[in-house]
Amino acid sequence: MSIKFRRTRRIRSRKRMRRIPKGFIHVQAGFNNTIVTVTDVQGRVVSSSSAGNCGFRSSRKGTPFAAQTTAENAISIVVLKRAEVLIKGAGLGRDAALRAIRKSGIRVTLVRDVTPLPHNGCRPPKKRRV
């Protein structure tokens, strides 16, 4: 006669609250999508979200409202006190994501634009002949 004991273990949600005192918020704002990533000082990803991840599809992913929702979603998982914001890209979601970060109560110490600019890099394609 054997009695089987069932383990009662509490199921944790995958996205639990993570506490970091200082970190970086990377906003990649393209024309088709906006990706917001929260990292700690060492560069390890703590939280991440994108407009497609928030339920936006096709052309609505590039809108400012999608960027705002994405930023709120990425920040909601993390408890941050101070953050530096690094913005990359020329999409419509740049300002909206920054506004959402400021409104969340996180003290923004630095806003830096890290958009890569070519110093006359690649050769352009040849002219079209019609």
CATH superfamily of 19-113: Ribosomal protein S11/S14 (3.30.420.80)
What is the value of pTM for the model shown?
0.80
Q: Which two tokens stand for residue 109?
A: 């110490």
Domain ranges for the chain, please list them: 19-113
Sign, CA torsion 68/69/74/80: positive
The 10s digit of each residue's pLDDT in 109-121 is 999 999 999 899 9
Alpha carbon distances (Å) from 105 to 7, 40, 82, 100: 41, 18, 9, 9
The 10s digit of each residue's pLDDT in 29-62 is 999 999 999 999 999 999 999 999 999 998 899 9
User: Partners of 37 in the beta sheet?
Assistant: 26, 48
In the chain, the amino acid numbered 70 is T
pLDDT category, 20, cuts 50, 70, 90?
A: confident
